[in-house]
Structure 1
């Protein structure tokens, strides 16, 4: 019966493109291992050659001529596959994994999750520019999912759920929006308490 050390088995798996820790790399995807003679890997691979699990040959012309290519034999392939431990359970899929499967259909992760993202608006000329952050209600024609900085497409007549104050910088506009959002959430909580009583 053929036996191999853990190091030798790891080299055989690597030669064949196998990875016991990953469920997606449990089939043979290649068959070569390039190394120079005299190294620890080479010595371990020579043991596998003497056991009939691998062969060694000349390196391709584009490689250094002192290197050697090791390849697994059919017996070596069967041995490597037979020594693989049971496949690990598949990783739990997250919402972000689901988004990556369908990301072409959405303008971003927030759109996929259904989050109503705020947008910046601006007014004024180059030296007198002011900014504010607003959030339109769901279903509004002014609601846009992508958080872009194309400020010119907004209407003074649009309905808004939350509106920050105009400010000279985007940072101040964001702070004003956060304060307006905090007040709105506090009002909603107070209204729910009033209905519950």
Structure 2
């Protein structure tokens, strides 16, 4: 039975251009010079009948040697490969990357209703609040929106934080309002009148 050291196996795999993730051989050569550690290990494989050696092409140094795996060496190399790793799990982000041109960001792909900031007042006396529009609203955004001045007091809002002097306080107020919104009993999908009259 033929045995090979780990270094010799790695050289054989490198000669064939294979590794655990890619088992299709795309080449079959290893160029080196005599006397090097690689050449010494490859000579052991030649003696075992797993490789052959021959003269290097004319553009190489005269003493260079080309090693090639034999058919038995190819079979041996493939048999000694560790089992392939399990395939990577296909995630929602992978699906998004496959068709990201169709969406305005990952949140849009997932259907997440992103909150937005609003602003009122003049410089030095500004106030901010964070709001979320209902699904289906023309004002709904799929990325966090910081264009503070573009909003109307007549727009229908789903979750509304209190006006606050800083963005941090506005966000904290929005989180409290969102918690209350989520605690409300679930309504039928199109029952907007009850939702906004309560």
Question: What TM-score comes out, normalization by structure 1 length?
Answer: 0.69
| 1:195 alignment partner in structure 2 | none
Aligned residue runs from structure 1 range 24-63, under 5 A: 25-29=22-26, 43-48=40-45, 51=48, 53=51
- Paired positions, count: 182
Structure 2 residue aligned with 1:181: 178
Q: Using the TM superposition, name which of 157-166 and 107-116 deviates more.
A: 107-116
Say if 1:18 and 1:28, in contact at 8 Å, map to a contact too. Answer: yes
Match of 1:6 in 2: 6
With 44-53 and 2-11 compared, the bigger mean Cα shift is at 44-53
Q: What root-mean-square deviation, in Å, do the aligned CA atoms of Structure 1 and Structure 2 show?
A: 3.6
State whether residues 42 and 51 of structure 2, in contact with CA within 8 Å, keep that contact through their aligned partners in structure 1. Answer: no
Gaps (5+ residues) in structure 1? 193-197
Secondary structure in 2 matching 1:134: strand
What residue in structure 2 maps to residue 131 of structure 1? Answer: 128
Give the gaps of 5 or more residues in structure 2. Answer: 189-198
User: What do residues 121-153 of structure 1 show as CA deviations (whole Å, max 9, x unaligned)?
Assistant: 223344333221111011100001122422232
Distance 2:86 2:67 in 1: 30
Q: State TM-score, norm by structure 2.
A: 0.69
Radius of gyration: which is bigger?
2
1:162 is displaced (CA, Å) by 0.2
C-alpha offsets along residues 28-73 of structure 1, whole Å, 9 cap, x if unaligned?
3566778898876565345345555365969x99xxx9xx897644
1:136-185 Cα shifts (integer Å, max 9, x gaps): 01110000112242223222211110011122222111111000011112
Are 2:31 and 2:67, in contact at CA under 8 Å, matched by a contact in 1?
A: no
Partner of 2:111: 114
Q: In structure 2, how many angstroms separate the alpha carbons of the residues matched to 1:154 and 1:142?
A: 9
Establish whether residue 159 from structure 1 lines up as the match of residue 152 from structure 2: no
